[in-house]
Amino acid sequence: MVEIVHTLAAILILWLIWRSLWHLVWRPYAVAGWFERQGIRGPPYRFVLGSLWEMKQMLIAERGKTPLDIGSHDYTSRVSPFFHKWAADYGKTFLYWLGPTPTIYSTDLELVKQVLEDRTELFQKDYLNPSLERIFGKGLLTTNGDDWKRHRRVVYPIFYHENLKVVATRTSVSAMTRESTQKMIAQWCNLIEKGDGHQAEIDMGCYAEELTLGVIERVIFGAHYKEAREGFAEGKEIQKLAVRAFADPQIPGLRYLPTRRNFQAWKLDRSITSKTTRLIKERLASGVDGDDLIGLMLRASKSEEVESLSSDEMISECKTIFAAGQDTGATLLTWGMFLLTIYPEWQERLREEVLRECRDDDGDAPYINSIQALGKLKLLNMFLLETLRLYSPLPFLLRKTASDTTLANIKFRKGTMITIPVMMLHRSKEIWGLDADEFNPMRFEKGVLGAANNTYAMLAFSCGPRGCPGRNYTMIEVQTVMTMILRRFSFSLSSQYVHMPRNFISLAPRYGLPLIALGVVRSPLLNDGTMMPQLDNRSDFPWQSPSQEVQFRLNGSSSVFLADHTSKTWDFGIRMYVEPSVELSWMPMMGMPTC
């Protein structure tokens, strides 16, 4: 009996050794030869690590270099120096290795189109690194096949155009964004008042993250969002662990070893799962589904027409929507504000467009009661598209071949990863013209197709059937924020800013984005939407027509004293009706208008 056990153990050990050698040695070299015979070359495969060690060393070397010039948008050699070098050495399509996994990098638009247009599940989404699964879960953005179709039927309605444009309720995206932005504006006002009364330095990256977090947690959990905030904070910690683990050897079973990093990740993941499970159970016990993501999933579980999600799938979906929705919006808002500060002429153009097109009955920022209201902001939309082109939240897209196939006359083996370098395609002079590295929102004056010569040139939200379902959500969110803060503040770049973008799950400034926020002093805006001449603190107001609607922009929080001796305090924006018999002048000592 003992001999049989020893024999079986020996056979098992030999089998494990053979499988390891096949996976880590024989197969990589065989695949490399397969692609080389087709003219596809790349950096050599290294045992276990593949190209990961070389990639890590190049990134470390880049960190020691001097920062980029503020006006430089060609950061690709800093964010991915390995791709920059290998593309120069091997051409626009080459082979590299994520551990023992063969990965094809390509900027061939025909190949990109075939991958993203596929509806046969031939090119699937794959985490590759198990650490990323802890961040995103197995939700809508990362499942495949029948599971993806089932998740799509349940979750997609929250991103439907009709749901996004109904914003007259507290649960709408625009209303929730407005509320979060008002809180942020109040914080900035307090900072200015505590300082010199005119300006304050803010870290826009932190505020953008906090704001978008406040919106997405309400999209997921509705009125119970405060109870979920601690769990989301733990989710950010898992993100940090995952980034540090990305360059680890991709050895099967490594995620299950009791390392310190794994222990931390397991603990955080259990805590998030426990908190989310409790919130779902409490919602079930209340008998009220709600209009949020959890409500949609719970209603689907009661419907006979739609296949429901299990509790574990609901938790994964919450992770997925949180990670994707929060990061994308925060990244777009952060880089958008960066571009506003280095191109002040565009900051002024957008402010004038907002003041002209977005005026409500209360004189406050627009309540955006229709998608059409945002549709009027043509310049803002072009500006955001250019921001997405230059600073795409996701620098790369990854797919995995589910079977042997042929793409752009290249034969692929099953299990080959495909890297679509979004930030490289967004800078291709063949696609965007000779000014591809320059900031030029007017290129989108006739839309994306008018700006580029290919439908698949703009990939900030991906394309095709697996494109990001939250595109409209993100655009509405960021447009709403910008319309509110542009009316109240002007911005300049702090001298503390260091221009070194880095890829941390999504693209972000390595050392944050410190800005100087100032209260805006605006010219009066008349009822017909025209601007009065710019006035300083000592100017008279030269209008004569009766009951003209006038909007003031002040430095600081000020009180307005009306003719009947009543007063009201407004933060960075005052609107009133002025009769021609009322003389208005400035009190320079107090910095406010009086009647």
pLDDT for position 561 = 30
Annotated binding site: 468
What pLDDT, in 10s, does the model give residues 481-532? 999 999 899 999 999 999 999 887 789 999 999 999 987 644 444 444 444 4
pLDDT for position 286 = 77
List where CATH 1.10.630.10 sits in the chain. 129-394+460-519
Q: Rounded distance, CA 147 to CA 156, Å?
A: 14
Ramachandran bin of 128, using left for φ above 0, alpha for ψ from -120 to 50, beta for the remaining angles:
left
Annotated binding site for heme: 468
If you average pLDDT over residues 273-285, what whole number do you get? 80
Cβ within 8 Å of residue 360, ≥6 positions away: 366, 367
- Is residue 312 pLDDT above 60, yes or no? yes
pLDDT for position 542 = 39
pLDDT for position 305 = 63
Assigned token pair, 374:
């945002």
If you average pLDDT over residues 443-450, what whole number do you get? 90
Q: Rounded distance, CA 375 to CA 382, Å?
A: 11
- Is residue 168 pLDDT above 80, yes or no? no
Whether pTM > 0.85 for this model: the answer is no
453 against 111, higher pLDDT: 111
538 against 243, higher pLDDT: 243
- Is residue 369 pLDDT above 70, yes or no? no
- Is residue 453 pLDDT above 80, yes or no? no
Query: In percent, how much of the chain has pLDDT > 90?
Result: 37
pLDDT for position 42 = 96
What pLDDT, in 10s, does the model give residues 28-87? 999 999 999 999 999 999 998 899 999 989 988 888 888 999 989 999 999 999 999 999
Q: Rounded distance, CA 284 to CA 229, Å?
A: 20
Q: Does residue 394 contact residue 460 with C-beta atoms inside 8 Å? A: yes
pLDDT for position 548 = 36
The mean pLDDT of the chain is 78
pLDDT for position 178 = 85
pLDDT for position 161 = 54
- Is residue 428 pLDDT above 70, yes or no? yes
Length of the chain: 595
What pLDDT, in 10s, does the model give residues 219-259? 887 766 666 666 666 766 777 666 666 655 555 566 666 77
Assigned token pair, 251:
């050895």
CATH code of 129-394+460-519, in short, is 1.10.630.10
Assigned token pair, 262:
């794994």
pLDDT for position 108 = 93
- Is residue 585 pLDDT above 80, yes or no? no
Q: Does residue 543 contact residue 552 with C-beta atoms inside 8 Å? A: no
Q: Does residue 558 contact residue 583 with C-beta atoms inside 8 Å? A: no
CA triplet 471, 239, 396: central angle to 5 degrees? 50
Tell me the DSSP string of 131-200.
HHHHHH-SSTTT--HHHHHHHHHHHGGGG-HHHHH--SSTTSHHHHHHHHHHHHHHHHHHHHHHTTSSEE
pLDDT for position 543 = 36
